[in-house]
Amino acid sequence: MVGSEVLPRQIKAEEIAEIVSGKVIGDPEVTVTGISGIKEATKGDVTFLANQKYIQLLESTQASVIITSPDMNIPQGIGKTFILTDNPSLAFARLVEYWFPQEVDHPKGVHPTAIIGKDVVLGKNVAIGAYVIIEKGVEIGDNTIIYAGTYIGHDTRIGSDCLIYPNVSIRERISIGNRVIIHSGTVIGSDGFGFATVKGVHHRIPQIGTVVIEDDVEIGANVTIDRARFDKTIIGRGTKIDNLVQIAHNVVIGENSIIVAQAGISGSTIIGKGVILAGQAGVVGHISIGDGSIVGAQSGVTKSVPPGTVVLGSPARPISITKRIIASIPSLPDMKKTVERLIRRVQELEEKLSSEGKKRGK
Amino acid sequence: MVGSEVLPRQIKAEEIAEIVSGKVIGDPEVTVTGISGIKEATKGDVTFLANQKYIQLLESTQASVIITSPDMNIPQGIGKTFILTDNPSLAFARLVEYWFPQEVDHPKGVHPTAIIGKDVVLGKNVAIGAYVIIEKGVEIGDNTIIYAGTYIGHDTRIGSDCLIYPNVSIRERISIGNRVIIHSGTVIGSDGFGFATVKGVHHRIPQIGTVVIEDDVEIGANVTIDRARFDKTIIGRGTKIDNLVQIAHNVVIGENSIIVAQAGISGSTIIGKGVILAGQAGVVGHISIGDGSIVGAQSGVTKSVPPGTVVLGSPARPISITKRIIASIPSLPDMKKTVERLIRRVQELEEKLSSEGKKRGK
Amino acid sequence: MVGSEVLPRQIKAEEIAEIVSGKVIGDPEVTVTGISGIKEATKGDVTFLANQKYIQLLESTQASVIITSPDMNIPQGIGKTFILTDNPSLAFARLVEYWFPQEVDHPKGVHPTAIIGKDVVLGKNVAIGAYVIIEKGVEIGDNTIIYAGTYIGHDTRIGSDCLIYPNVSIRERISIGNRVIIHSGTVIGSDGFGFATVKGVHHRIPQIGTVVIEDDVEIGANVTIDRARFDKTIIGRGTKIDNLVQIAHNVVIGENSIIVAQAGISGSTIIGKGVILAGQAGVVGHISIGDGSIVGAQSGVTKSVPPGTVVLGSPARPISITKRIIASIPSLPDMKKTVERLIRRVQELEEKLSSEGKKRGK
């Protein structure tokens, strides 16, 4: 696939508008034969623009039809057709799904090489891939797909309509909701990192808790989510986790949060609802990040963050403060010299004034 | 498991004191039926407190029995029973092990689907899971458990009483001691990252060394430990490594060190005994970190660190210096303005003095 | 293997010089029996030194023969033999390969437990390990080796002479060139992290693109490379990627770049040719890093970087600026006090001058 994805058949702008519940501005009869990103698009493609920041691409794109929002200033007389809809990203996602509904040929049925333990309960229409191991007592809901080479520990419960990719490791007694997606290489329920140190030697503290992944969570590739010491590590409903993220024992994440790649959350920290942790951010243990807060990339959060706060930096501070610091820091080396010069000038003034005082005092 | 783990039977405070070799303060006859963290505990639970920092939880906790240390100021007349012992964390770990000794049902025997190569020597009472691959010449000690889907390369030697979780990859000629625990997804003995660049093209330098993991090491999930170019990458006895840590070729880590999640150690660096590398810390190659040193979270260590030093920041500096910098940095933007105002004031003074000098000079 | 690797037979300095196309300085008849790093070497070993920075090791090493470059100032009369060659690292790599040409016993043929889907085309002399799963429509070139437990999704194409280690997950429709090496635990083609958020709920944007890995790429352990939303995530020819690196959807990396461990590249960013991203560096999305640029360790790149630029810091700035900042920052706390003292001194001067003015005015 170079540049654009070829559609199964050509389609008119007015048909697209119907699929995405949008309004056509321009020629409703224009047809498209491909789908593409706005920069890569060529004539005959449909594309979309959601972000005001890239508005100049509306003019420069070669696409024939562009899905965008009514808020955008649409350029006139450039021979392109626009479809206006409230959420162009979502509209585009729907369009893609409409055209490529069964793009991937997921495994069907239970592969003869899958090893299914005692007392396992499989829902209707599940698909279990080759060399999958399902230990005793596991329950799996309807329509759930488990790819090849994945391991499911004993007494774990997985809901319905889940999609678990190859080579995932899910340990014992984990609870996973419905419509959860887990990408390859991810480990759920590894032991929390807890030791009692006596005379310099570290003794394990048993980690007998579990992990609860609620409905509609998506977890990226090579993520690690540790089980709680007691109790539960919880990933709230609708939260999306990117690749290579670390979630320590007893962390609780609220609903619909976003944890970007390579971020790490230390033990027992509580992340609210609708929080965004940007890439490579780190959060210390035993604190809380309030609902709707945003933690900037590479930030290091060392104290609890109130709801609705945007923090940045290591250590993380409110973004307005960090931005002022970042803006002023390059002048620091010159400022050092300036201050040294000032000291000399003030000293000279003091000496002058003192000698004049003496003169007059004579 | 919500809130607390139910015990197999109820137990008296005096029995707990006996198990952990502690002393009862309060009612030795009080019984508990559950075990929990101090915040989540409810009436009838036993919990513990090890950290002076959270001493106020001794009053607010709902637990009936609290294991803590003789150093703590125990609040009087609050109707709770305390058990005093030198290391409350370790005592609690023992208590948990006492109650949940066989919590996990590890695999037994050699699964018929495990593939065992030529000249493999298996100790007594080993457990090898389904779809495990053990290449030729491997030796595995007594009582070692290897979970499903794990790969062990040729001529690797694994000691006794080890526990290796699913989907681990251990390459050829690796040496692993006794009582080592390795969590899922971890890769040991991948090739070091070494290239000779000629006219912009990178040629591999063969990595023919190996990795030695000494006794009592624990390695988290999705960790990567590269083999040495020659010689050995070494993880010292009793060292504990958290998830998603990177250890490059020829790194040597001493005994009983702690490497927290997402930390990275570059090639040929030597980490001493009893060192702590906090989360997301990075260490450049070819330096050493002295015994007992601590590297703060997200620090970037660019020079060798003497023994017993606490460093923080990127670049890492002694913690007292970094803390002073962190404390003064928010005043930088204002200081810039202050200095600008000072320059103007000094200039005015200089002009005044100069003009007065001239007047008087007349 | 402690200290040095024993050679299959002893060898003379002049033979080594022939193998590496170098020139002997010293005794061409001296024989070596082992190979080692320069610090660990003992008498009878051959070693190498490529970096001017460690030139003092030429004197202190115990090695009998040292491969180095004609640029080095070779110490006289120390009873050692030198072999001069333009690229000592590469020469040494060749020497190692000469002596240990078949160090690893790779799998041979197609293991009977490998599952090969419909319409799979296998090249000549391929090796497919135990429990490998190859889905339908896959093509694999001549001499390619795929280790145990690896998963290859449908319609993926892998070139010839590739080496894929155990427990790798390669998703559907991926394209991999010739002579590509992929280490264990790595995931290629996981879904990009893209959501359309409507009233706080995140809806997946289908990721229907793919990943292209060009010839001669090497990818470390537990790396994640996401597939493009449309179009292709591309890793250019000869680029080398270390462990635990994150490469987001639609990233394009040019030829012969180096991405060091735990670095992360956000979506749609373009990395040029011959770029170096040092360890734990992060790059935001939708920017470009010009050819030949270097991004320092732990840097956070927030804006496009022109070709041939070295940047450092978070946020990343040209290295000369960041180095000046790093050098001056420790004086910040004292500078704060100095400025406060200056304010008082200037105020005193102003008062003095004002009172004298008044006196004289009388």
B248 contact residues in C (CB cutoff 8 A) = 261
Picking from A216-230, B93-107, C84-98, C274-288, which range would have the lowest pLDDT averaged per residue?
A: B93-107
Q: Cβ-count burial of B167 within 10 angstroms (0-12 exposed, 13-18 middle, 19+ buried)?
A: buried
Q: How far is C276 from chain A (nearest CA, A)?
A: 19
C57 contact residues in B (CB cutoff 8 A) = none
Residues B137, B175, single domain; the answer is yes
B186, B219 Cβ separation under 8 angstroms? yes
What CATH number is associated with residue B196?
2.160.10.10
A143, A161 Cβ separation under 8 angstroms? yes
Q: How far apart are CA B250 and CA B234, in angstroms?
A: 7
User: A256 and chain B: CB distance < 8 Å anywhere?
Assistant: no
Check CB contact under 8 Å for A183 and C195.
no
Picking from A188-202, C86-100, C213-227, which range would have the lowest pLDDT averaged per residue?
A: C86-100
The average confidence (pLDDT) of chain C is 92
Residue C168 has pLDDT above 50, yes or no: yes
Q: How many CB atoms within 10 Å of residue B34? A: 21
| pLDDT average, residue stretch B179-191 | 98
Check CB contact under 8 Å for B261 and A246.
yes
Q: How many CB atoms within 10 Å of residue A92? A: 27
* Residue C204's pLDDT band (cuts 50, 70, 90): confident
Q: How far is C158 from chain B (nearest CA, A)?
A: 21
Residue A35 domain-assigned?
Answer: yes
* Residue C330's pLDDT band (cuts 50, 70, 90): very high
Residues C238, C135, single domain; the answer is yes
Closest Cβ opposite residue C324 in set A35, A105, A333: A333
Q: How far is C86 from chain B (nearest CA, A)?
A: 9
Check CB contact under 8 Å for B332 and C330.
no
- The pLDDT assigned to B199 comes to 80
Q: How many CB atoms within 10 Å of residue A334? A: 13
Check CB contact under 8 Å for A200 and B87.
no
A134, A140 Cβ separation under 8 angstroms? yes
Closest Cβ opposite residue B338 in set C103, C220, C339: C339
Q: How far apart are CA A145 and CA B341, in angstroms?
A: 68
* End-to-end C-alpha distance for chain C, whole angstroms: 94
Residues A81, A128, single domain; the answer is no
Question: C341 is written with which tokens?
Answer: 């003292």
**What single DSSP character describes residue B192?**
P
Residue C185 domain-assigned?
Answer: yes
pLDDT digit string (tens) for C292-303? 999 999 999 999
- The pLDDT assigned to C33 comes to 87
Closest Cβ opposite residue B230 in set C5, C105, C240: C5
State how many domains chain B has. Answer: 3
Picking from A312-321, B122-131, B195-204, C341-350, which range would have the lowest pLDDT averaged per residue?
A: B195-204
B193, B174 Cβ separation under 8 angstroms? no
% of chain A at pLDDT higher than 90: 69
Check CB contact under 8 Å for B184 and A201.
no
Q: Which of A42, A68, A99 is the last residue of a domain?
A: A99
Residue B246 has pLDDT above 70, yes or no: yes
Q: Which residues pair with B232 in a beta bridge?
A: B210
**What single DSSP character describes residue B53?**
G
| CA distances in angstroms from A360 to A356, B339, C360, listed in the order given | 6, 32, 11
Mutate: best of B147, B154, B224, B336, partner C, most C CBs <10 A: B224
Q: How far is A273 from chain B (nearest CA, A)?
A: 21
Q: A53: alpha, beta or left, given left = phi > 0 and alpha = psi -120 to 50?
A: alpha
Residues A262, A132, single domain; the answer is yes
Q: How far is C116 from chain A (nearest CA, A)?
A: 11
Picking from A341-355, B281-295, C5-19, C232-246, which range would have the lowest pLDDT averaged per residue?
A: C5-19
Check CB contact under 8 Å for B244 and A224.
yes
User: B307 and chain A: CB distance < 8 Å anywhere?
Assistant: no
Residues C126, C151, single domain; the answer is yes
Q: Which residues pair with A122 in a beta bridge?
A: A140
pLDDT greater at residue B98 or residue A84: A84
Residue carrying structure tokens 């109130």: A306
- The pLDDT assigned to C2 comes to 30
Residue C103 has pLDDT above 80, yes or no: no
Nearest chain B residue to A234, by CA: B2
- The pLDDT assigned to A182 comes to 98
CB pairs under 8 A between A and B: 197
Residue C305 domain-assigned?
Answer: yes
- The pLDDT assigned to B261 comes to 98
User: Which pairs with CB-CB distance under 8 Å and at least 24 residues apart come from B9-14?
Assistant: B11/B46, B13/B65, B13/B81, B13/B83
C contact residues 184-223, partner A, Cβ 8 Å cutoff: 185-187, 190-191, 193, 195-196, 198, 200-206, 208-210, 222-223
**What single DSSP character describes residue A331?**
G
* SS3 assignment for chain C: CCCCEEEEEEEEHHHHHHHCCCEEECCCCCEEEEECCCCCCCCCEEEECCCHHHCCHHHHCCCCEEEECCCCCCCCCCCCEEEECCCHHHHHHHHHHHHCCCCCCCCCCECCCCEECCCCEECCCCEECCCCEECCCCEECCCCEECCCCEECCCCEECCCCEECCCCEECCCCEECCCCEECCCCEEEECCCCEEEECCEEEECCCCCEEEECCCCEECCCCEEECCCCCEEEECCCCEECCCCEECCCCEECCCCEECCCCEECCCCEECCCCEECCCCEECCCCEECCCCEECCCCEECCCECCCCEEECCCCEEHHHHHHHHHHHHHHHHHHHHHHHHHHHHHHHHHHHHHHHHHHHC
- The pLDDT assigned to C122 comes to 98
Question: C262 is written with which tokens?
Answer: 């735990």
B105, B122 Cβ separation under 8 angstroms? no
- The pLDDT assigned to B216 comes to 98
Mutate: best of C180, C183, C240, C273, partner B, most B CBs <10 A: C183
Q: How far is C174 from chain B (nearest CA, A)?
A: 22
A2 contact residues in C (CB cutoff 8 A) = 231-232
The side-by-side arrangement of strands in the sheet containing B169-170 is: B115-116, B133-134, B151-152, B169-170, B187-190, B224-226, B246-247, B264-265, B282-283, B300-301
pLDDT digit string (tens) for B194-232? 888 778 889 888 888 999 999 999 999 999 999 998 889
pLDDT digit string (tens) for B327-349? 999 999 999 899 999 999 999 98
- The pLDDT assigned to C6 comes to 64
ipTM of the predicted structure? 0.89
| pLDDT average, residue stretch A119-148 | 97
C243, A256 Cβ separation under 8 angstroms? no
Closest Cβ opposite residue B230 in set C37, C240, C330: C37
Closest Cβ opposite residue A325 in set B184, B243, B329: B329
A240 contact residues in C (CB cutoff 8 A) = 193, 195, 202
- The pLDDT assigned to B2 comes to 30
Closest Cβ opposite residue C5 in set B198, B208, B339: B208
Residues B152, B249, single domain; the answer is yes
A contact residues 83-142, partner C, Cβ 8 Å cutoff: 87, 89-90, 92-93, 96-97, 100, 103-105, 113, 129-131
Residues C289, C317, single domain; the answer is yes
B contact residues 52-81, partner A, Cβ 8 Å cutoff: none
| pLDDT average, residue stretch A316-327 | 96
Residues B89, B165, single domain; the answer is no
Q: How far is C257 from chain A (nearest CA, A)?
A: 21
Residue A313 domain-assigned?
Answer: no
Q: Which residues pair with B358 in a beta bridge?
A: none
* Residue C1's pLDDT band (cuts 50, 70, 90): very low
- Residues C106, C111, C183, C249: which is the catalytic one? C249
Q: How far is A319 from chain C (nearest CA, A)?
A: 13
pLDDT greater at residue B256 or residue B3: B256
CB pairs under 8 A between B and C: 196
Which residue segment(s) compose the domain that A93 sits in?
A: 5-99
Q: Cβ-count burial of B216 within 10 angstroms (0-12 exposed, 13-18 middle, 19+ buried)?
A: buried
R_g of chain A computed on alpha carbons: 29
| pLDDT average, residue stretch A113-123 | 97
Whether C249 is catalytic is: yes
Check CB contact under 8 Å for B332 and A327.
no
- The pLDDT assigned to C102 comes to 57
pLDDT greater at residue A360 or residue A14: A14
Of C301, B341, B336, the residue nearest A328 (C-alpha): B336
Closest Cβ opposite residue C208 in set A100, A166, A349: A100
Residues B216, B349, single domain; the answer is no
| pLDDT average, residue stretch C175-196 | 96
pLDDT digit string (tens) for A164-209? 999 999 999 999 999 999 999 999 999 999 888 778 889 888 888 9
Q: Which of C71, C99, C127 is the last residue of a domain?
A: C99
Nearest chain A residue to C323, by CA: A333
Q: How far apart are CA A45 and CA A39, in angstroms?
A: 11
* Residue B1's pLDDT band (cuts 50, 70, 90): very low
Picking from A322-336, B261-275, B303-317, which range would have the lowest pLDDT averaged per residue?
A: A322-336
| Host H or E run for residue A34 | strand A31-35
Q: How far apart are CA C131 and CA C117, in angstroms?
A: 13
Closest Cβ opposite residue A169 in set B36, B87, B167: B167
Q: What are phi and psi of A285, to 5 degrees?
A: -85, 165
Peptide bond into C315 cis (omega under 30): yes
Peptide bond into B315 cis (omega under 30): yes
Residue A299 domain-assigned?
Answer: no
**What single DSSP character describes residue B331?**
G
What CATH number is associated with residue B41?
3.40.1390.10
CA A233 to chain centre: 18
Of C161, C206, C163, the residue nearest C186 (C-alpha): C163
Residue A321 domain-assigned?
Answer: no
Picking from C156-165, C232-241, C342-351, which range would have the lowest pLDDT averaged per residue?
A: C342-351
Question: B134 is written with which tokens?
Answer: 């053990």
Residues B34, B127, single domain; the answer is no
Q: At what angle do helices A332-361 and C319-328 cross, to 10 degrees?
A: 50
pTM across the whole model: 0.90
Chains touching chain B, criterion 3+ CB pairs below 8 Å: A, C
Q: How far apart are CA A123 and CA A154, in angstroms?
A: 17
B65, B80 Cβ separation under 8 angstroms? yes
Cα Dmax for chain A: 111
Question: C292 is written with which tokens?
Answer: 């030949």
Closest Cβ opposite residue C149 in set B133, B264, B352: B133
* Residue A107's pLDDT band (cuts 50, 70, 90): confident
* Residue A123's pLDDT band (cuts 50, 70, 90): very high
Residues B31, B78, single domain; the answer is yes
- The pLDDT assigned to C140 comes to 98
Picking from A292-306, B167-181, C36-50, which range would have the lowest pLDDT averaged per residue?
A: C36-50
- The pLDDT assigned to B50 comes to 86
Check CB contact under 8 Å for A335 and B336.
yes
Nearest chain A residue to B180, by CA: A204
Residue B4 has pLDDT above 60, yes or no: no
Dump the DSSP string for B247-303: E-TT-EE-TT-EE-TT-EE-TT-EE-TT-EE-TT-EE-SS-EE-TT-EE-TT-EE-S
Residue B60 domain-assigned?
Answer: yes
Check CB contact under 8 Å for A282 and B297.
yes
Mutate: best of C21, C242, C259, C275, partner B, most B CBs <10 A: C242
- The pLDDT assigned to C311 comes to 98
Q: How far apart are CA A230 and CA C212, in angstroms?
A: 44
pLDDT greater at residue C87 or residue A248: A248
| pLDDT average, residue stretch C74-102 | 83
- The pLDDT assigned to A105 comes to 75
Nearest chain A residue to C234, by CA: A2
Residue B225 domain-assigned?
Answer: yes
Nearest chain A residue to B131, by CA: A131
* Residue A2's pLDDT band (cuts 50, 70, 90): very low
User: B279 and chain A: CB distance < 8 Å anywhere?
Assistant: yes
How big is chain B, counted in residues? 362
Q: Cβ-count burial of B95 within 10 angstroms (0-12 exposed, 13-18 middle, 19+ buried)?
A: buried
How big is chain C, counted in residues? 362
Q: Which of B99, B132, B167 is the last residue of a domain?
A: B99
Residue B101 has pLDDT above 70, yes or no: no
Give the catalytic positions of A in this structure.
Answer: 249
Residues B29, B163, single domain; the answer is no
Q: At what angle do helices B319-328 and C332-361 cross, to 10 degrees?
A: 50
| CA distances in angstroms from B25 to A15, A108, B75, B82, C86, listed in the order given | 78, 62, 11, 5, 76
Check CB contact under 8 Å for A280 and C264.
yes
